[in-house]
Amino acid sequence: MLLLVLVLSPRSVYHSRMLSTSPSCTRRRFMASAGMAAAGSALGAAPATDPHGTFVREALHWHAAGPRTVECDLCPIHCTTEPGERGECSVRENRDGKYVTLVYGRPVSMNNDPIEKKPLFHVHPGSRSFSIATAGCNIHCTFCQNWDISQKRPEEIPARYVAPETIAQLALQQRCQTVAYTYSEPTIFFEYMLDCAKAVKAASLGNVVVSNGYIEAAPLKQLAPYLTAMKVDLKAFTQKFYGDHCEGELQPVLDTLKLLIELGVWTEIVVLVIPTLNDNMDEIKRMAAWIAKELGPDVPLFFTRFHPAYKIRHLPRTPARTIQLAGETARAEGLHFVYAGNMPGTRGENTYCPACKAPLVERYGNVVRSQQIANSACPTCGHTIPGVWE
């Protein structure tokens, strides 16, 4: 994994990770890191340490489950802890019967990314998204592409305090249209994400979340008014896969997807297709049918090519033909916007009008080559194209 060192002040360095899975974006990585130098000047003005002395804040969404026992209500795991213990995500801790987060204001990664990298294809195409993450995740995927932050405890990665208002300020300075909470699992840094989202919205920018969908309904409802969009990783469409490879469950993710649609949050879905593990076309057909019926045919669905990573290094890259077949299968189930991920230069990266088939957004990797959508409609036939375009 490429690490870029970002000099923020004469006395300190900040390690900024570039997390592209694309091997072909060396120049963009350089440009992004060069852009981050400007971010450094703003961060240099921020306090070197959290004004509270640590990154600790009382957590939201928990309740007492005994004299000094607490139960976390943030995600479907509902960890129960005694004093001194942490939850499954390793960033929330019971301190004498009170639950706290250990990662408030503690980003370990900050990058200026194209929004296509999230990926979100129906949200401000060609715009930039100021992307942040803390350490930690509530599930443990064997194929995680960002395991070196998601599967770490906070104290294992050096960080300095960055206030929510500073995140908004950096996004503005970097000419980003949105702030993205991404790379690891944003649910586990909920308190920080929520305060950032409020500051970002107050600055007239948007917020997008890249999530595994493992969040309870109450916190999602609390966050939703500040969101422009959410991208959810649907790891597979069987409980067996979630159990064997993620230490998680499928149903809570499906519940989150349904709630997002109910709440009116623009939602896109990514499926990382891994050879022999979740590339069965019957499973993909059932998944696409469920999405079309429960969420609607206009929800964009990405089938993304797997590259060997973390604990799954013995399987090959996903054949391009598998991604094409998955796309054809999903379209046959009625989905209007099906994309291919990690397949630069293919038609699967483009947006076409579902009515007249005219090309609307043409892409190469994370680069938008042309954008024809006007007033949220196809300029050829006038068909409304759902998304956040303006």
**Which residues would be at the binding site for ligand SF4 (CB under 6 A)?**
72, 74-75, 77-79, 87-89, 92, 138, 188
- Residue 386, classified by CB atoms within 10 Å of its CB into exposed (0-12), middle (13-18) or buried (19+), is middle
From the list 288, 285, 289, 222, the residue with the least C-alpha distance to 259 is: 222
- Which residue type occupies 320? A
Please identify the residue of the shown chain whose CB is closest to the bound ligand SF4. 87
Nearer to ligand SF4, 57 or 285 (CB): 57
By beta-carbon proximity to ligand SF4, the closer residue of 114 and 252 is: 252
List beta partners, residue 100: 58, 93
Among residues 53, 57, 51, 135, the alpha carbon closest in space to that of 91 is found at 135
Q: How far is the CB of 152 from ligand SF4 (least distance, A)?
A: 14
CB of 194 to ligand SF4, least distance (A): 14
Nearer to ligand SF4, 188 or 269 (CB): 188
Nearer to ligand SF4 (CB atom), residue 168 or residue 188 = 188
**Order of strands, edge to edge, in the sheet holding 62-64?**
62-64, 70-72, 80-81
CB of residue 208 to ligand SF4, shortest distance in Å? 20
What CA–CA distance (Å, rounded) separates 83 from 321? 52
40 vs 219 by CB, closer to ligand SF4: 219
CB of 252 to ligand SF4, least distance (A): 11
Residues in contact with 225: Cβ distance below 8 Å, sequence separation at least 6, in sequence order? none
CB of 188 to ligand SF4, least distance (A): 5
CB of 91 to ligand SF4, least distance (A): 7
Question: How is residue 346 written in tokens?
Answer: 């293919």
CB nearer ligand SF4, residue 114 or residue 136? 136
Check: CB of residue 326 under 8 Å from CB of residue 367: no
With b meaning 16 or more CB within 10 Å and e meaning fewer, what string describes 26-37?
eebbeebbebbe
CA distances from 307 to 81, 82, 105, 304, 343 (A): 36, 39, 32, 10, 12
What is the DSSP code (8-state) at residue 163? -
Task: Yes or no: say if 387 and 376 are a contact pair by the CB < 8 Å rule.
Answer: yes
Query: Could you tell me the smallest distance in angstroms from the CB atom of residue 79 to ligand SF4?
Result: 3
Q: Which is nearer to ligand SF4, 85 or 244 (CB)?
A: 85
> What minimum distance in Å lies between the beta carbon of 357 and ligand SF4?
44
Cβ-based nearer residue to ligand SF4, 99 or 226: 99
If we measure between CA atoms, which residue out of 112, 102, 91 comes closest to residue 17? 112
Identify which of 28, 6, 31 has the alpha carbon closest to the alpha carbon of residue 17. 6
Q: Least separation, in Å, of the C-beta of 88 and ligand SF4?
A: 4
Q: Characterize 255-275 residue by residue with b for buried, 16 or more Cβ atoms within 10 angstroms of its Cβ, and e for exposed.
A: bbbebbeebebbbbbbbbbbe
Nearer to ligand SF4, 192 or 303 (CB): 192
